[in-house]
Structure 1
Amino acid sequence: MAEDIAELMQSMGRRARAAAAELAFAPADQKAAALNAAADALLANVPALLQANAADLAYGRDKGLSAAMLDRLMLDESRIAGIAAALRAVAGQPDPVGQVMAEWDRPTGLHIRRVRTPLGVVGVIYESRPNVTADAGALCLKAGNAVILRGGSESFHSSGAIHAAMVAGLRAAGLPADAIQLVPSRDRAAVAEMLRMVEFIDVIVPRGGKGLVGLVQAEARVPVFAHLEGICHVYLDKAADPAKARRVVLNAKTRRTGICGSAECLLIHRDLVNGLGAQVIADLVAAGVQVRAGEGLQHLPGTVPAVPGDFGHEFLDMIIAAAVVDDVDGAIAHIRRHGSQHTESILTEDDATADRFFQRLDSAILMRNASTQFADGGEFGMGGEIGIATGKMHARGPVGAEQLTSFKYLVTGDGTIRA
């Protein structure tokens, strides 16, 4: 069986490399046509996709997935329409390939341009969210890359149905079907093979929990864009506007608890504990959130005492940790100690305090008076995202089509020689 998986992955790698060579110079309108045709194929096959998703949900329930994880997995007509809309949004964006990033002339007579170029072949390893199949496929295609997708076992059937629509789009536009490939096996040996395929894959993007990302970072021989945990903090400053704060905190935690942009820790300025802070916590409790309160907050109704492991934990559920801090510097220190450099938000009307928060934290995304649920490539105007990169090399924050390119130098002379 291991030999079969190895042979399968080598074949996929060879075909992806061949497809990437064609995509590198594919016209922008041809790639856009493929994505629009894929959106059409999705919407034309909603019943089949819902049936595939029902099989995945049954599998997930049998495995004992939490309600939040089942929500990540679930598709309905609205979410399928959203996936199709995201495909069209990516199709409508400017094509990054060939964009001139900078150009200049040298005294020697050389004219130099730095232009965007595809990475080549991208490998994406992800867990339960089937929409990643479309997002990753679309963004890689837009950037002129071939992609090998390895979805989670829970989303096996849904990802397969979405992939079929992507392939239909490629064929309709006359692009190679091997440009977007999905590993047709739940066998984890396929992941191990991908991590070693340096001759075929140029970069790996893991999208999932700490266990998956840690495994990929530890074992990959291929370069990795890391998408680590979303341990997102919201700091309630003493200069916060009460109406804004109550609205934003509730949305940051409860809109969708199973996504990486969900707030996992609320930090409250000491002066607000028995005023606005108590109101915000009461709002969360009323909404069904379990508030795990640190020292100074445990007297508030409906809270349960926090334990040390609650800070720096990604719950992905209707649970939030809460702590008291003395000021913005205390919030910064707490986030540096417990955060994952994903997304943090400050709620304040004080410009100097907000500036200090922005300057002294180094998370990929920092927000002011906005919900952390906006940590999303689609909300950033990228059409979609392949993940939120929390590392500092090459790509950071939402990884869209532009971040899936590298660059090359085009140098023009006129019989120019070096003295």
Structure 2
Amino acid sequence: MLRLIFVSMVLEGVWGATVPPPTPTLSLRRQLDPANLDTLNRQVRKALLAKVTSELESSKTFMANLQPQLTVCQTKVNDSLGHCLQCVDNACQEKFKQCQSLTFNMHSPGGMSVSSNSINGQSQVTVCALTGSQFTRTCSTIMNPEGFMVNSISQIGNDLRINLGRVYGDLGNTVVGNFVGGLTNVANNVVRNMTNAEKAQLQQTMSHLSQSLSTMGHHIGQSVQQSMGQMHQQLSNFGSSMAQWGQNFGQQLSQSLSHMFDGTLLGKRRRRAAQECTFLFGDLYQNCASLTSQCSSCPSNRQDTMEAVCGKDLVDKVQAVEKSMDEMSQIYEEVINAKNIITMVEFDNTVIDPTMASYGNVKIIANIRGVPTVFPMSSVLKLHDLAASGTPIAQQVWKEWAVRMTTP
């Protein structure tokens, strides 16, 4: 009996030494919790906002370096299409005079508005309107690179002003202040070659943005305040304001339009007027450009003008800048409008560095152009320093965004 008890005790000891008691199974993968995901999204958006000004500065510098080639291209385009431009403009002016001589009743076509440009004594068509839709935008950038930058800066400033309260509260006064300072510096660097109209446009944008910041009653930092002050000093000599620069086409033509449209003649005269004068509505530049069929001086291969006279290399470079600015614009819209660019973060549940709570094999799901996009994180995820993790993720989001811009 004692022997049986002894054997039983030995067996129990061996079993206890070789087979540990069962333990809960640890999951190999883990998702970032909502609170940390929200914090990470904020850090990603801050990094993306900083990159917007960097890209804007890079585009400005790139276009400035292209200026000698752009100047040559501008001359060649004007030489190539100059006679065509003059003929089309004369045809447009003549049609307008014919319409002025008519008295009839006619309503603006549904959904279309009178153009914002007066035709009296002013050219209503540009060489870029004659190059074909494929190159119209690129031609405009080449012929007026300063205007291209002004429009970009103005769009960014106006969008920020509209969303200022929400962005300010979400990303903080320092981030917004630094962004405005960076935007101001870029604007300062493009101001020297602008037309008075472009200066007025930029003046309005920056003044409104500055006023919006002031009315919020927050401190945006001394350095940024100084930068804004310098901008106001430069803008003080910009000539007349937007309200004084250029009148609205509807106001300029109100008398002649009422004269034309309030007559009492009926029948053939009215039908003739309706047929000949509808070009006054909608896009007057494009409508006038459609009169090229009346001009023998207009080349039949106008759509090839840009690459033919300026070279494919220059056209490709300008289009690359436009694409970069399009990417920047889309990402900027997402930064100021959305809080959930990053929708999920999944990582191995194995701590690589306990001091920083770092985890590897990280999978990111980001909302890029409205589509969930999965990509691996190029570095480890640091839960104790999400600001450091936000920057590399922002760089990858930007890269993935560029890829999606080139695919359907």
TM-score normalised according to structure 1 size:
0.22
More helix by share: 2
TM-score normalised according to structure 2 size:
0.23
1 or 2 for the larger relative contact order (CA 8 Å, sep ≥6)?
2
More strand by share: 1
